[in-house]
């Protein structure tokens, strides 16, 4: 896989700890980095983003091999592992920093984001319409080191047990063929 071409995806689905834990288990994913995107402040801190005044969303940036996992397949996992029908909230996490958002890196990603969103919206899988934003990527700021690989380092913490573990279970149940072999 070392010589295969890679692509980058930037997705926001609420807390980046959850999203990072999900996508780090997907076959074809080279790396997942938690961070911030979509705001107006350069190099924001976690505290600034949590205050909800910077305009950033908590996101993950995924480097992946499109020959192994397509952007559209990543989006299917994205939509299945968070609630894309709630504006600016995921569970108890409330604010614009927790919005559902796809920051596309090129025209093909934009088109796939629109197509996958429309298809899932029409599928009837959700009782309410999808409110996920589809926006052009501008800049990504990696989060502080203690946010990286958070779930793996903190699996016994209550947030991880009650919020992240069920997402991992759902991923395993519905996307097992797309997971890395452990």
pLDDT in tens, 105-134: 999 999 999 999 999 999 999 999 999 999
User: What residue ranges define each of the domains in the chain, with the CATH number in brackets?
Assistant: 7-178 (3.30.1060.10)
pTM score, whole prediction: 0.94
Which of the four pLDDT bands, split at 50, 70 and 90, describes residue 157? very high
The confidence score (pLDDT) of residue 1 equals: 47
Mean pLDDT on 51-71: 96
- Taking only the tens place, the pLDDT of each residue in 68-103 is 999 999 999 999 999 999 999 988 889 999 999 999
Q: Which of 15, 18, 50, 160 is catalytic?
A: 15
Annotated catalytic, 15? yes
Mean pLDDT on 161-175: 93
Instruction: Provide the mean pLDDT of the chain.
Output: 94
Percent of the chain with pLDDT over 90: 91
Mean pLDDT on 137-163: 93
The confidence score (pLDDT) of residue 182 equals: 67
Contact 161, 154 (CB under 8 A): no
The answer on pLDDT for 25 being more than 90 is: yes
Side-chain half-sphere of 181: how many Cα atoms within 13 Å?
A: 0
- Residue by residue, DSSP assigns 56-99 as -EEEEEEEE-TTTS-HHHHHHHHHHTS-TTSTTEETTEESGGG-
The confidence score (pLDDT) of residue 7 equals: 98
């Amino acid at each position: 896989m070392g010589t295969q071409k890679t692509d980058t995806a930037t997705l926001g689905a609420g807390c980046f700890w959850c999203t990072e834990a999900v996508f780090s288990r997907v076959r074809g994913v080279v790396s997942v980095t938690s961070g911030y995107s979509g705001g107006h402040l350069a190099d924001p801190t976690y505290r600034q983003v949590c205050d909800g005044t910077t305009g950033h969303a908590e996101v993950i940036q995924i480097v992946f091999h499109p020959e192994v996992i397509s952007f559209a397949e990543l989006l299917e996992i994205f939509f299945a592992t968070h609630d894309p029908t709630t504006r600016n909230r995921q569970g108890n996490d409330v604010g614009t920093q927790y919005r559902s958002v796809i920051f596309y890196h090129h025209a093909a990603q934009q088109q796939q984001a629109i197509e996958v969103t429309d298809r899932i919206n029409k599928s009837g899988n959700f009782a309410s319409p999808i409110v996920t934003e589809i926006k052009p990527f501008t800049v990504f700021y990696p989060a502080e080191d203690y946010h990286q690989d958070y779930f793996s380092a903190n699996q016994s913490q209550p947030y991880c047990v009650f919020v992240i573990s069920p997402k991992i279970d759902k991923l395993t149940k519905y996307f097992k063929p797309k997971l890395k072999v452990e």
